[in-house]
Structure 1
Amino acid sequence: MTRKERFQFVLAYFSEHNPDAETELIYDNPYQLLVAVILSAQCTDKRVNMTTPAIFERFPTPQSLSETTFDELFPLVKSISYPNNKTKHLIGMAKMLVEKFHGEVPLTVEELVELPGVGRKTANVITSVVDNQPNMAVDTHVFRVSARIGLTVNARTPLATEKQLLELIPRDLVHVAHHWLILHGRYVCVARTPRCEVCGLRPACKYYKKEVEGKIPAPKKKDRA
């Protein structure tokens, strides 16, 4: 199977089995999504969704968040990984939104990465989720799943993975393909012990062909009488 054929198989499979995939972060507007994505770095979406309601209630707008202090925000963030840095990032992000972007979340990657706590991955998430832009956010799940299946070849960085995925994913599918790969990595192609036995991508997966299928013992021949 060529790499192009592998992409075609994977995209066709997900289009049939999970056509409406979307982020599992809970939000009502771009500002809330931005806060949630910043908090989600090296943290589960489940934990973020448990944390953000209190933040959104206390600070419903960028303006209100920009006016708070570290000591006031930190107790609402402390259950999240790296709470010190993320508390500082949220306040800094809100201040820049107010001062430079008139309280509105910008929708270009170039502008978003100017915000404290926002890297390329976060910017790609915001633009693809809010505006369906063809930007591929590469987190640990996307990086792992793409390499295992064989969608990427020797891609050693998230940026290299992003570029290789964008080569063969149609532009109109990029925003949803991002979620397909994340969710597949979260629930099926997990890091330590991938659940190959329930995976519908086996016919196209290089990992399965090499690490699993080839090691399944052949059935024993019955002794002839």
Structure 2
Amino acid sequence: MSSQDASWDEAAVRDLHGDLVDQYGAVGATDAHGAESDPDPGDGVRQLITTILSQNVADANTERAAESLFSTYGSFEAIESAPLDELAEAIRVAGLAETKAERIQRALAAIREETGGAYSLAFLDAMATDEAKAWLTEIKGVGPKTASVVLNFHFGKPTMAVDTHVERVSKRFGLVPESASNARAHDVLDATIPDELTYPLHVLLIEHGRTHCAARNADCDNPVCDRYCDCEWC
């Protein structure tokens, strides 16, 4: 089934998941929500800040920036009230430091104002997924991918975080129209993928994108590409 003739009903998505599991193995231990446990004491706030840091930067630099940030400041209040240039210096390794510092402080201010003074996103847990995503994306600098990471990884809500690998592979497999924007790709995948497969397919599509389905010179000599892909290297 190439992307030209794919019909992505629930059964087809489950077949894709099974084929990816056969190729890469099942996604590791998860909590009851279906996402990796996040022991974050900030009720999702630390996850949000770390995800903002991760925008357009390698994982290793995200980790270094987060370690610097949380060792420099002892509380979310201190991060929000820090001089912008000082905060930017603490996260310099993440790139776009001034922009990300502004986004972090803007997000913390929005959370504090929403809760009446607490730095907690726990209120999102009681919201429907679409409502929670809308609240987060109202914050300037928080797009659908950042919102989906927080909602799926921390709260276990069924919304797919669409990074460059997920978007590229989904388009090559015909899960998402080739012309779709990243925001539209989020909407299409959320409507197509069964809730309990949202997180494992996120992980498996990234693995496939990294291992075989690269942006250029893809390695298509594998059973998943044979069945689902018809990119220019297949």
TM-score calculated relative to the size of structure 1: 0.80
Say whether 1:211 aligns with 2:211: no
Give the whole-Å Cα distance in 2 for the aligned partners of 1:167 and 1:74. Answer: 38
Which residue number corresponds to residue 90 of structure 1?
Answer: 104
Note closer, same or farther for the CA distance 1:51–1:162 as it changes in structure 2 (3 Å cut). same
Note closer, same or farther for the CA distance 1:51–1:6 as it changes in structure 2 (3 Å cut). same
Instruction: Report how far residue 161 of structure 1 moved.
Output: 1.9
Give the whole-Å Cα distance in 2 for the aligned partners of 1:195 and 1:46. Answer: 25
1:40-65 CA distance string (max 9 Å, x none): 11111221012211111222432221
Say whether 1:13 aligns with 2:19: yes
1:91-134 CA distance string (max 9 Å, x none): 22222222323211253212212334212221111001111111
- 1:93-112 residue pairs with structure 2 within 5 A? 93-101=107-115, 102-105=118-121, 106-107=123-124, 108-112=132-136
Letter in 2 for 1:19: V
Note closer, same or farther for the CA distance 1:186–1:36 as it changes in structure 2 (3 Å cut). farther
Letter in 2 for 1:10: L
Give the whole-Å Cα distance in 2 for the aligned partners of 1:115 and 1:173. Answer: 28
Instruction: Report how far residue 14 of structure 1 moved.
Output: 3.1
Picking from 130, 135, 145, the partner of 2:154 is: 130
SS in structure 2 at match of 1:141: helix
Instruction: Report how far residue 174 of structure 1 moved.
Output: 1.2
SS in structure 2 at match of 1:211: coil
Q: Which runs of 4+ in 1 moved over 4 A?
A: none
Alpha-carbon contact 1:112-1:118 (below 8 Å) kept:
yes
Give the whole-Å Cα distance in 2 for the aligned partners of 1:41 and 1:187. Answer: 21
- 1:59-70 residue pairs with structure 2 within 5 A? 59-70=73-84
TM-score calculated relative to the size of structure 2: 0.77
State percent identity of aligned pairs. 25
Which structure is larger by alpha-carbon Rg, 1 or 2? 1
Letter in 2 for 1:41: Q
Give the whole-Å Cα distance in 2 for the aligned partners of 1:81 and 1:124. Answer: 22
Root-mean-square deviation over aligned CA pairs? 2.6
State which drifts further: 93-102 or 118-127: 93-102
* Unaligned ranges ≥5, structure 2: 31-35, 125-131
Give the whole-Å Cα distance in 2 for the aligned partners of 1:98 and 1:167. Answer: 32
* Unaligned ranges ≥5, structure 1: 213-225
Instruction: Report how far residue 28 of structure 1 moved.
Output: 4.5
Alpha-carbon contact 1:90-1:116 (below 8 Å) kept:
no
Give the whole-Å Cα distance in 2 for the aligned partners of 1:89 and 1:153. Answer: 31
SS in structure 2 at match of 1:86: helix
State which drifts further: 7-16 or 80-89: 7-16
Alpha-carbon contact 2:20-2:224 (below 8 Å) kept:
no
By relative contact order (CA 8 Å, sep 6+), the higher-ranking structure is 2
Instruction: Report how far residue 38 of structure 1 moved.
Output: 0.5
Alpha-carbon contact 1:142-1:182 (below 8 Å) kept:
yes
